[in-house]
């Protein structure tokens, strides 16, 4: 195993620990965020998105990269992602944190994520057929 893999694995473990401590792995906390009854997690998420956006903008400007065109699958994908997150209380990274915490029900969420990834290709070929750009089906 290369040292870079160990370093990235340690970063992932640290990130998972932080996500767990902040409360992103708690269904109740995520539910409170989605129904706007508690803004703590919502604000943490918003700050993370804003910082990431500034970082991506800085990198694209420094490297002279052209902006990516809008993809029609973004809307459908965002809606499906949001429905899955609101229903299960987990996105793909959080489900791994939940499993690490011993939340057995997260295994069913992981199975759903893997099943969705598996059926995406055939569904896309049958119903959508738009250009995938750099993505492969």
**Residue of 47, 45, 117, 107 lying closest to 80 (CA atoms):** 117
131 versus 87: which is more confidently predicted? 87
Q: CA–CA separation, 109 vs 89, rounded Å?
A: 9
CA 96, distance to chain mean position in Å, is 11
- Detail the DSSP E strand segments found in the chain: none
The answer as to whether 20 is a domain residue is: yes
The answer as to whether 136 is a domain residue is: no
The answer as to whether 133 is a domain residue is: no
How many structural domains is the chain composed of?
A: 1
Task: State the pLDDT confidence band at 134, using cuts at 50, 70 and 90.
Answer: low
DSSP 68: P
Instruction: Report the chain's mean pLDDT, rounded to a whole number.
Output: 87
Supply the pTM of this predicted model. Answer: 0.74
The answer as to whether 137 is a domain residue is: no
pLDDT of 132 over the 70 cut: no
In this predicted structure, what is the pLDDT of residue 86?
85
The answer as to whether 105 is a domain residue is: yes
The answer as to whether 135 is a domain residue is: no
The answer as to whether 134 is a domain residue is: no
Write out the residue range of the structural domain in which residue 84 sits. 3-128
Highest mean pLDDT among 16-20, 42-46, 130-134 belongs to 16-20
pLDDT of 14 over the 70 cut: yes
The answer as to whether 77 is a domain residue is: yes
Q: Encoding tokens for residue 123?
A: 């569904």
């Amino acid at each position: 195993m290369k040292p870079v893999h160990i370093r990235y694995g340690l970063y992932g473990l640290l990130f998972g620990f932080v996500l767990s401590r902040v409360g992103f792995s708690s269904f109740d906390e995520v539910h409170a965020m989605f129904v706007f009854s508690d803004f703590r997690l919502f604000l943490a998420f918003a700050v993370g998105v804003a910082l990431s956006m500034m970082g991506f903008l800085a990198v694209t400007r420094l490297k002279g990269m052209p902006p990516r065109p809008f993809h029609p699958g973004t809307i459908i994908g965002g809606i499906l992602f949001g429905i899955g997150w609101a229903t299960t209380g987990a996105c793909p990274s959080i489900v791994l944190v939940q499993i690490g915490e011993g939340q057995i029900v997260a295994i069913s969420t992981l199975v759903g994520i893997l099943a969705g990834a598996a059926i995406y290709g055939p569904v896309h070929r049958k119903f959508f057929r738009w250009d995938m750009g750099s993505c492969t089906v």
